[in-house]
A and B are shown apart, each in its own frame.
Chain A
Amino acid sequence: MNSSKRIVAQRYASAYDALSKTNEEASQRSALLNEVSAALLTQQQTMESPRLSLQSKKQAVRAALSGAPETARFIELLIDAKRYDLLPEIARRVEDLLDQRLGIIRAQVFAAKQLSEAQKKQTQDVLAKRYGGSVKAEFITDPRLLGGLKIRCCGEEIDGSLQHQLNKLQEELTK
């Protein structure tokens, strides 16, 4: 995806996010958009088929989303503007905007082994203190780390893994 498409996606996302007044509304809308995006992905062939007219595609969307007229209109707009392919990217960005609204910080925590619940909680607490906000961490096991943790959060990488230490040692010794 090129730069201009990403910028466009960001604009659609912030417009969609701005529809909601309250945080609840926003999280509902975001969840819905995610669902729609996932659902429409399964119907990609139909949606991209040249045999169906734009009108009928829009009608189908409207029928499926009768409960949420704004979201339906948003998708129709995307179809009209030929930006339908940006939908997954937009949904992702709407999620990010929602996180911003709720003050949630996303983190990825890599560990060599499955962490215990207590360890997970401790990691989250430490991160919350460092970055100031409520942290939602995604825990990923990666045996290549050998030991220790590697955390990615807010554009930073905190690397205390054994793998990293060994790499550094190798660099030091071969210098």
Chain B
Amino acid sequence: MAIRPEEITNIIKNKIEQFNTTVDVSEVGTVIQVGDGIARVHGLNRVKASELVDFGNGVKGMAMNLEYDNVGCVLMGSDQQVHEGTTVKRTGEVISIPVGKGVIGRVVDPLGNALDGKGPISAEKNMPLDIVAPGIIDRQPVKQPLQTGIKAIDSMVPIGKGQRELIIGDRQTGKTAIALDTIINQKNIPQNERCICIYVAVGQKQSTVAQVVKTLTDFGAMDYTVVVSATASDPASLLYIAPYAGCAIGEFFMWQGKDVLIVYDDLSKHAQAYRQMSLLLRRPPGREAYPGDVFYLHSRLLERACKLSKENGGGSLTALPIIETQANDVSAYIPTNVISITDGQIYLESNLFLSGIKPAVNVGLSVSRVGGSAQRKTMRKVAGTLRIDLSQYQELAGFAQFGSELDKESQRQIERGKRMTELLKQNQYAPLKVGEEVLVLYAGTHGYLDTVQVTDVLAYEQQLLSYARTEGKKVLEEMNQAVELTEDLEKEVVGLLDHFKTVFKAGK
């Protein structure tokens, strides 16, 4: 591209001509103390809570504590340029973030600055970070399924659009993997039902976030995904606002009638960042030294997930918050809080993960309180007894360990359970379409696997899928679309499975 100096000069000249030289009046205060990302400011008498204040040199802050003779502000950047006596200006605004189509495919920080080096964000407008969640009138019940592409979840803990489903588990149990697979799976879904995805990284390592962005890019998922990142090296204030920033971006699309999926990875670190800020602001500590309003911190965030009514365009915002537990303890303060706020949880257990059951979903403790009504009828039909079968199996398996003689029925249940457990295993980055999930689970629950060796179950699944994708294309396509498993369709499925029996090669 040829650069024409005259043109540039003209643009600059124009800008200078249009520049209005008004005198600015602003309310000011002075910093009396600064440290640990917190500044105490004298003056600013009329500042409002959560108002954005300007410390100059591009450093902004947020007024958190309005006290008798000073204002406690958290700095949204480095405190190196701020010192005693620095002038602080009111801005009269609350923190907001640029939103719009231009944000999709980008990696941004919680203030809307690009982190991916692809130039500034072109925004449609600015949305305040912290707004009140839509009221009862604005909403309708959750009724559409959100497909994660993960067999264990879509069948037993189904998620509906507009739901809040917690992913909880120890470190390194595949929490992020589930969220990422769900995002990647949106690619499998027709454009009109596909969710716009937002991945909010709170307090994670830069390398982890880079890895996530790379994975999403490799799978082509960045076309409909926004990554909001506040890493471990950012100030606590940025970690604190990151989920709200992500939520604001999502809400913009939701009010346009779109479906949005937002992942908060993870809210434990969010609570810790807030605890740090609160303690430094000298707010009184409560249980586990968290401040008293830590419940409200998360409830006001998760309440913003919703399914809007038809009059409002019918958009939805589904939230998948992630919580990290210590030693599988779900009764700690933050986990219990978030469990009580959300509409269910996917409980990942390190024992399961280590014994090779991945995704390590603990079926007994995982629930979805509203997703059931949103589940597809096809899926509900095949998965109906799955949960009970599996828990019965686990109970019986306990007995069987003692080597006691079991009756035929129990033995059958154990054999079935073993195969179903095997069948529910799923690799990372390999989400399945609904039709495929239903087909595989149908085979399992209708006894097609009973004659297959347990060690061959994975091979059976692989071969069945590739067989169906080539030979049974039509049936599979129908199953992807079908809302209900009609008799005709079921016959076709049975036909496909029966025929596959003759093709299946065990021991491969």
A-B contact pairs, 14 of them (CB 8 A): A3-B40, A3-B69, A3-B70, A7-B69, A155-B44, A155-B46, A156-B28, A157-B24, A157-B25, A157-B26, A157-B87, A157-B89, A158-B25, A168-B24
C-alpha spacing A6/B21, complex, angstroms: 40
Quick check: is B15 within 8 A (CB to CB) of the other chain? yes
Quick check: is B67 within 8 A (CB to CB) of the other chain? yes
Known: A155-B44, A155-B45, A173-B12. A3 touches B67 (CB 8 A): yes
Quick check: is A103 within 8 A (CB to CB) of the other chain? no
Beyond the given pairs A7-B69, A155-B43, A173-B15, 9 more chain A to chain B contacts, judged by CB atoms under 8 angstroms and listed by A's residue number, are A7-B68, A155-B27, A155-B44, A158-B23, A160-B24, A165-B21, A169-B16, A169-B19, A172-B15
- In this complex, how many residues of chain B approach chain A with their Cβ under 8 Å: the count is 25
C-alpha spacing A156/B33, complex, angstroms: 20
C-alpha spacing A1/B84, complex, angstroms: 11
Q: When the two chains form their complex, are residues A158 and B15 in contact, meaning their CB atoms are under 8 A apart? A: no
CB nearest to B11 among chain A residues = A173
- Which of the four size classes fits the interface of chain A? 10 to 19
C-alpha spacing A158/B87, complex, angstroms: 13
Report which A residues bind B (CB closer than 8 A): 1-3, 6-7, 10, 152, 155-160, 164-165, 168-169, 172-173
Quick check: is B29 within 8 A (CB to CB) of the other chain? yes
> A9 CB to closest chain B CB, in angstroms?
10
Report which B residues bind A (CB closer than 8 A): 12, 15-16, 19, 21, 23-29, 32-33, 40, 43-46, 67-70, 87, 89
Interface residue from B12, B23, B29 paired with A159 (Cβ < 8 Å)? B23
Interface residue from B45, B69, B89 paired with A10 (Cβ < 8 Å)? B69
Q: When the two chains form their complex, are residues B28 and A155 in contact, meaning their CB atoms are under 8 A apart? A: yes
Q: When the two chains form their complex, are residues B25 and A156 in contact, meaning their CB atoms are under 8 A apart? A: yes
Contacts of A165 in B (CB 8 A): 21
C-alpha spacing A164/B21, complex, angstroms: 10
Q: When the two chains form their complex, are residues A159 and B24 in contact, meaning their CB atoms are under 8 A apart? A: yes
Q: When the two chains form their complex, are residues B26 and A159 in contact, meaning their CB atoms are under 8 A apart? A: yes
C-alpha spacing A18/B195, complex, angstroms: 68
C-alpha spacing A2/B33, complex, angstroms: 8
Contacts of A2 in B (CB 8 A): 33
C-alpha spacing A158/B15, complex, angstroms: 24
